[in-house]
Amino acid sequence: MRGAILALTFACAAPVAAQDFTLASPIDCDLSTTCHIQQYVDRDPTEGVRDYTCAALSYDGHKGTDFALPTRAMMEDGVAVIAAAGGIVAATRDGMPDDGITDDNAAAIEGRECGNGVLINHPNGWVTQYCHLKQGSILVRKGDRIETGAPLGQVGQSGRAAFPHVHLSLRKNGTVTDPFDADDTISCDTPGDASLWADPLPHRAGGLIAVGFSDAVPEYAAIKAGTAHSSDLTTRAPALVIWGYSFGTRQGDILRLTLTGPEGTVITDDVEMTKPQAQSFRAIGKKRRTQPWPAGAYSGSVALIRNGLTLEKRVAEIVLR
């Protein structure tokens, strides 16, 4: 298992015909709203980074596509990883904890970066690999013949994973292939012109994972866990804070955060992103003075703005009593 599920050699894939092989989404989650694609295959053979759209939603040498959950709470509830294509299970691994990658466990994970996973052989030299599944969730065994859409396990954070996701790698005769644009070239004018997806998957060039209220700037761990939002704040809250959790931001992007209440705008600010970040959060807030906050409905909005255009906007609401 150790070698079979982990060995990947990156090279430019030979041109393939779309009708040769097609894929379904490997995650049972809406990628246009709740879940998202965090990173694509890196198509730049140098130390630079380039995804299939000629943007940089990847990292150097990334050999697959990362389908991400918004929080660990959702991971704990359970989200299915499903077979993107029918085939025969070639290898599995289970038993690794969903601790993610840390300085303390990096040495122990070395050689098992995929974490818990499944490797499937398909006709005509195609292979799919599913990494970072939840400990104890693997439902298939070596030798099983499965159909497209069959459940393989659940999304986890085992192995070298900074967030809960399933990493899908695709290979053709041992060569890494980008399912979003499977020929041997990148065309910035026509990205995705050689897609292998049976049904096109939504492309989000960055976006918002969640927004919420709290009575102080939350810890990042609470943001990622899905426990940062406070829905039971009262008029005696020491502060009102609106925060936005984002992915795929670029240098120069703006997070526009606005908090309004019964008497109008409480606070608003444009926060400029100073560097590209895979995931991050920003927050603004205002402390309460001596008097309670006015009772009633409050709305917090967060918009991700790039080059003057709003990529996504989300709103959270609470009622103070």
Per-residue DSSP letters for 264-275?
Answer: EEEEEEEEE--S
Q: Domains of the chain (ranges plus CATH)? A: 18-176 (2.70.70.10), 207-320 (2.60.40)
C-alpha closest to that of 113 among 221, 42, 26, 8: 8
Q: What is the pLDDT of residues 87-115, one digit of tens each?
A: 999 999 999 999 998 888 888 899 999 99
Banded pLDDT at 7 (limits 50, 70, 90): very low
Q: How many CB atoms lie within 10 A of CB 275?
A: 9
Helical spans, DSSP H, in the chain:
72-77, 106-109, 220-225
Q: What was the pLDDT predicted at 19?
A: 55
CA 216 from centroid of its chain's CA atoms: 26
For residue 202, give Cα distances in angstroms to 34, 81, 207, 243: 12, 18, 12, 25
Q: Does the pLDDT value for residue 181 go beyond 80?
A: yes
Tally of CA atoms within 13 A in the half-sphere of 107 that contains its CB: 1
> Which of 65-69, 95-99, 190-194, 287-291 is the least confident region?
190-194
At 133-160, the pLDDT tens digits run 999 999 999 999 999 999 999 999 999 9
Task: Provide the pLDDT for residue 13.
Answer: 42
Cα–Cα dist 76/225, whole Å = 10
Write down the pLDDT at residue 6: 36
CA geometry: angle at 59 spanning 159 and 149, to 5°?
60
CB 97 within 8 A of CB 158: yes
Q: Which amino acid belongs to residue 133?
A: L
Whether the per-residue pLDDT at 275 is higher than 50: the answer is: yes
As a whole number of angstroms, the distance between CA 94 and CA 138 comes to 7
Q: Would you state the pLDDT for residue 189?
A: 78
**pLDDT of 77 over the 50 cut:** yes
Please tell me the distance from the alpha carbon of residue 295 to that of residue 24, in angstroms, as a whole number: 49
What pLDDT score was predicted for residue 214?
Answer: 98
Strand partners, 131: 167
Average pLDDT over residues 280-287: 97
Contact 56, 250 (CB under 8 A): yes
What mean pLDDT is reported for the chain?
92
Instruction: Report the DSSP pairing between strands 239-249 and 254-261.
Output: unpaired
User: In this predicted structure, what is the pLDDT of residue 102?
Assistant: 86
Evaluate if residue 10 carries a pLDDT over 60.
no
